[in-house]
Structure 1
Amino acid sequence: MTASPQDLPSLNLETPALLTVSPLLRALQEQGPVCRVRTPAGDEGWLVTRHAELKQLLHDERIGRSHPDPANAPRYVRSAYLDLMITDTDAEAGRRTHTEYRRLLTPMFSARRVHAMQPQVAEVVDAVLDRFIAQGPPGDLHGGVSTPVALTVLCDIIGIPVESREQLTTLLSQMALLNDRESVERGQRDLFAFIEGLVEQKRTTPGDDIMTRLTEGGLPEARVAPLAVGLLFAGLDSVVTIMDDGVVLLSTHPEQRAAALADPDLMTLAVEEVLRAAKAGGSVLPRYASEDVEIGGVTIRSGDLVLFDFSLSNFDERAYTEPERFDITRSPNPHLTLAHGIWHCIGAPLARIELKTVFTKLFTRLPDLRLVRPVDELRMLDGRLSGGLTELPVTW
């Protein structure tokens, strides 16, 4: 039985307790694999709650960014940044564009290239930890380790000069705000102009980075800038959040942490379990159906909003035994945190290396590191696209 529009369950942006599935999301997951909901923006959409159906739709080319009327398309949230992702091109053209962008970017995150970056990532992590440890305990690991590591690694590979990174951080923060449209739109213009200026510089002062390679490939500044901005949004806050939550998980499971530190292969598995368990719902990617799609006993109509919740699917009891239990020996571990199929995160190899390096070096250099506050007292960001912790106080 389908709920009437007035009776639809309403999603909101209130973050549940850290690492815990909210009662609403758990109830929706039990109700069905694809549920009609009301979004935080007040529009109607379909929330994909279960692992099998999400994986199936991540391969379905009828779900994408295209909508025939972007200005009036249903929204997940009111966000000028997310609005940029809605195109009015036909679905086939949208698929071609998506494929082209992946073709351009994927070689820059190849296994060989990322493997070669391991010493560089280790150097960044050591330098950040040197500064963090020198300040003495207690410290904010979110602001003192996770954020500078993720920002430095990402800026290095994209090609953002060191002297420009403070300005970049300010511009990204403006774009992430949900409630101040004027500020976001101004930040959007400033951010694209900022990136286009850097791309122009690469023509005369090239480097071993993504912007240089795209520029040398003949792309104009106006095309390179959206790719660079997309990588920054996809690879910064998400990695910071997983890094923070991974430290919480490993800190509160000391026996598993010790086992992972003693065995690099087990640490590799630990990273996968952190990726699976780091967020328990709310990692939503909005998309649109370009044709009617039958799935999970419902019909998603052309033009309907479809919400992929990557983290909720990782807590589906149909895909995992005891999904709310943190277990670094879990195998297989087919989590969808980094998406799948045509939407799989191209930066996944780099993210994995960052996480493994940070967890290994942090807990090796600070074996007595522990949380200052109980997990249920850690505060989450409010009114932001990425969520995550406001700070992560630790001592050692």
Structure 2
Amino acid sequence: MASPHELPSLGLEPPVLLEVSPLLRELQERGPICRVRTPAGDEGWLVTRHAELKQLLHDERFGHSHPDPANAAQYVRSPFLDLMNTETDAEAGRRTHTESRRLLAPMFSARRVREMEPKVAAVVDGALDRFIAQGPPADLHDGLCVPVALTVLHDIIGVPSPSREQLAALLAQMAVLDDRESVEHGQRDLFAFVAELVDRKRAEPGDDIITRLAEGGLSDERVATLAVSLLFAGLDSVVTIMDHGVVLLAAHPEQRAAALADPDLMTHAVEEVLRAAKAGGSILPRYATEDIAIDGVTIRSGDLVMFDFSLPNFDERAFDEPERFDITRAPNPHLSFAHGIWHCIGAPLARIELKTVFTQLFTRLPGLRLAVAADELRERDGRLSGGLTELPVAW
């Protein structure tokens, strides 16, 4: 831990898979909102506990915007995020956020997601056919988790099959964290690609997000920004949870068997995977738009505030024995999909994907096991797209 005169620095400890780092645990015990130094070297506030995070996620005095984006504190140095977050007016930022959610929410309604279940099941089944045909050992990350998440996202966003390979290459170019030239070239190419899709959807509308946004009166640039944001957010979160969920379920065979025998219990298992699959580092950076006093500290207007959606899921004030994986845990008020005005609108679809993958994978491959020790698995680093570098399995 840092001395009293130094700020504790995030990102200096190599993460241990599925475990809260000693630094994050100490910060959580120190207080609900801690002043820290970010991986980018800037100062900011980390929200460490469940009750305070839930409270602040309802507070409209936090947003994407900063009056001086070029000099705003950052969580990570990311040319991609710099290019995506250029709003300087807080009220305009709130209006944009509200309007975007209004347009997108119907695409993820409970009825629509139920209607998508057979299609998700078919996507998973086809991906599993191809994965199993490789024979063991095989990498589940690239062989199943990424293809499933990408295919479902492409379908709901409205990316036609012939264009998906080109889009994958453009996204890979954009995802690099520290290469500004690559990101700037990638942004131009990516936005031109999406603008072409928008023109096509205006001529031939479909039941997809790009069509809905284009018909909602948004500019081509705004449609492209939202579509790209959804691709990155959806891919990162779903793939990460799939990867980690397989590790958790493989390590708890009795709970896995119980979940496979009872669809309702599998639903609870998905919620416990969502809670336990990451133990810190799922950061949503936001800025205070005015001074805010909370729990004995004052967050100043313009300060960086980091909402961590995974660390508070291990808060003993909210969860009994949070380090224990328990698919019967109830209630399970995890914040993995955020809350309030920042709640993930794609959560219902993500839940269906996770339940379908876990059910079909362990039903078709009941002997599935990790092909390496769990402590040999590594998180992807230096890119925005998440998950493990690889997930070798055998059966």
TM-score class, shorter-chain normalisation, is: over 0.9
Q: Deviations over 1:151-208 (max 9, x none)?
A: 0000000011112112211221222211212112211222111111111111223222
Cα deviation digits, residues 63-106 of structure 1 (max 9, x gap): 11111111111111110222234344322221111100000000
Contact 2:239 2:386 in 1 (8 A): no
Are 1:197 and 2:196 counterparts? Answer: yes
Instruction: State the identity %.
Output: 79
Deviation at 1:213, TM superposition (A): 2.1
The residue number in structure 1 matching 2:99 is: 100
Q: Aligned partners of 2:86 and 2:293: how far apart in 1?
A: 23
Matched residue, 2:78: 79
- Across the aligned residues of Structure 1 and Structure 2, the Cα RMSD in angstroms comes to 1.5
Q: Does 1:11 align with 2:15?
A: no
Gaps of 5+ in 1: none
Match of 2:262 in 1: 263
Q: Which amino acid aligns with 2:24?
A: L
SS of corresponding position for 1:314 = helix
The residue that corresponds to 2:288 in the other structure is 289
Q: Measured at CA, do residues 386 and 309 of structure 1 come closer, stay the same or move farther in structure 2, by a change above 3 Å?
A: farther
Q: Give the aligned partner of residue 27 of structure 1.
A: 26
Deviation at 1:15, TM superposition (A): 4.4
Map 1:353-368 to 2 at 5 A.
Answer: 353-368=352-367
- In structure 2, what is the Cα distance between the partners aligned to 1:88 and 1:333? 35
More deviation, 373-382/121-130: 373-382
Report the counterpart of residue 330 of structure 2 in structure 1: 331
Aligned partner of residue 303 in structure 1, secondary structure = coil
Given the superposition, is the C-alpha separation of residues 114 and 338 from structure 1 closer, same or farther in structure 2, using an over 3 Å criterion?
A: same
CA contact (8 A) 2:157 2:209 kept: yes
Moved over 4 A (4+): none
Counterpart in the other structure of 1:206 = 205
- The offset of 1:108, in angstroms, is 0.7
**Structure 1 position 395 matched with structure 2 position 377:** no
The letter for the 2-side match of 1:136 is: G
Q: Distance in 2 between matches of 1:15 and 1:366?
A: 32
Q: Which residue of 1 aligns with 2:119?
A: 120
Q: Which runs of 5+ in 2 are unaligned?
A: none
Match of 1:9, SS state, is coil
Q: How many residues align?
A: 394
Residue 165 and residue 382 in structure 1: after superposition, are their counterparts in 2 closer, same or farther (change >3 A)?
same
Are 1:239 and 2:238 an aligned pair? yes
8 Å CA contact 1:69–1:88 kept in 2: the answer is no
- CA distance in structure 2 between the partners assigned to 1:374 and 1:50 by the alignment: 31
Q: Report SS of the residue matched to 2:85.
A: coil
Give the SS at the match of 1:7: coil
Contact 2:235–2:386 (8 Å) recurs in 1: no
The residue aligned with 2:298 is 299
Partner SS state of residue 285, structure 1: strand
Are 2:68 and 2:88, in contact at CA under 8 Å, matched by a contact in 1? no
